[in-house]
Structure 1
Amino acid sequence: MTTPAFTPWILGLTGGIGSGKSAAAERFVELGVHLVDADQAARWVVEPGRPALASIAERFGPGVLQVDGQLDRAALRKLIFENPEQRRWLEALLHPLIGQEIFSYLAKAESPYAVLVSPLMIESGQVRNTQRLLVIDAPEALQIQRTLRRDATTPEQVAAILKAQTSREERLRHAHDVVVNDRDLAWLHSQIDRLHHFYLTLRGGQP
């Protein structure tokens, strides 16, 4: 394995539900960019055998575990959303572990820059660990339409998720780059390709 001549800089990638963030992330991977998914890191830290899962089961009881020993996310979600104190306890346990997991994977990057994709980039504070932020944006009506087409959900549930996420305005306020993803996949790919070529010219995420 070759060592990079310089440390890759980190591009944050975020966007609201149904914005096309995952499709943009896949395109970066196709272009050979090292990518770490914060949601995936959140799943890794609670796998069976990891200390975090044992701590969660000790605090909340065996009802948060499935028969095969995996975390029952739905059961845990119900417990923590009914009790803000328990949610804060869980966040205090998991956020540092997720951060460690993310950056151990980012450290393996051999591309000139690496991408950290996270739906909670701003809310979680992960944006502070990136050098540049790309926001995939879309009109709210289109976000709802795409999410309904993709997930078994209701318009009310999608509206609730949108309300819980950082506002579009707040995301855009933090952005260095914005792609308004209101066309087809080929167009989104063309925009990511254009940005990728620009990013290859940067050092530390800055022109």
Structure 2
Amino acid sequence: MSRFVIGLTGGIAAGKSEVSRRFEALGITVADADLAARAVVAPGSEGLARIAAHFGNEILLADGQLDRAALRARIFDSAQERQALEAITHPAIRQLLRQTCEQADGPYAIAAIPLLTEAGGRQQYPWLDRILVVDVPVAVQHARLMQRDGIDTALADRMIAAQASREARLGLADDVVVNDGHPDHLQAHVERLDRAYRALATR
């Protein structure tokens, strides 16, 4: 049982997945918010039943799965409908992440939450003991996005602008990993943090 939980976050193309993989290689459980978001709307789940009750069965595919494109179309221009969806999914995602972390073997666990800042930070996740931000300068983020996704500069700008600012994320941080170089440079940072978290977890 891991009672010490680290929240891991960072902007798009910051390298959160790479940092997560390196913690996992050290034997640490990483609960992923993106996977939790899929799990809470899986066929047969209470979340999917509540979504169908609110939005109607037209947001379901023939095999009973969520029709994500249809749901996106419903909430795209409606803040009210988007909030209704979030009221169903966000508490379930938070609960599943916490459950996964608490049931993990090891001295501590990590909850990887890309949109932690946008989702309310510590107010919505009071059970996080520390927050680790993977940080990159916006110019590096921009270049990586263009290269990774094959997009133009205008779309990269919009994708970055759609998230919380770098300053807002850093305002939440207890710990920061600057990932503006080669991925291999992350290893020493991750190992140092792992030692620190193991020590804190046993206090």
| SS of match in other structure, 1:178 | strand
| SS of match in other structure, 1:70 | coil
Q: Which amino acid aligns with 2:127?
A: N
- Superposition deviation, residue 182 in structure 1: 0.6
CA 158–62 in structure 1, closer or farther in 2 if over 3 Å, else same: farther
- Superposition deviation, residue 152 in structure 1: 5.0
The aligned residue for residue 14 of structure 1 is 9
Over the aligned positions, Cα root-mean-square deviation in angstroms equals 1.9
- Provide Cα deviations, 1:59-80, integer angstroms capped at 9, x if missing partner: 3234322343221223212221
The aligned residue for residue 163 of structure 2 is 165
- Superposition deviation, residue 158 in structure 1: 2.8
CA 13–29 in structure 1, closer or farther in 2 if over 3 Å, else same: same
The aligned residue for residue 149 of structure 1 is 147
Are residues 1:45 and 2:43 paired? Answer: no
The aligned residue for residue 30 of structure 1 is 25
The aligned residue for residue 177 of structure 1 is 175
TM-score normalized with structure 1 length: 0.88
Q: Which amino acid aligns with 1:26?
A: R
The aligned residue for residue 129 of structure 1 is 127
Gaps of 5+ in 2: none
| SS of match in other structure, 1:166 | coil
Q: Which amino acid aligns with 2:30?
A: L
Gaps of 5+ in 1: none
Contact 2:33 2:113 in 1 (8 A): yes
Contact 1:8 1:110 in 2 (8 A): no
| SS of match in other structure, 1:202 | helix
| SS of match in other structure, 1:58 | helix
CA 68–148 in structure 1, closer or farther in 2 if over 3 Å, else same: farther
CA distance in 1, matches of 2:201, 2:96: 24
Percent identical pairs in the alignment equals 44
Matches within 5 A, 1:94-113: 94-113=89-108
CA distance in 2, matches of 1:187, 1:99: 31
CA 44–190 in structure 1, closer or farther in 2 if over 3 Å, else same: same
Which one is further off, 108-117 or 139-148?
Answer: 139-148
Which one is further off, 112-121 or 57-66?
Answer: 57-66
- Superposition deviation, residue 153 in structure 1: 4.0
Contact 1:8 1:111 in 2 (8 A): no
| SS of match in other structure, 2:200 | coil
| SS of match in other structure, 1:12 | strand
- Provide Cα deviations, 1:60-118, integer angstroms capped at 9, x if missing partner: 23432234322122321222121111111111111111112111211211211110111
Matches within 5 A, 1:184-203: 184-203=182-201
TM-score normalized with structure 2 length: 0.90
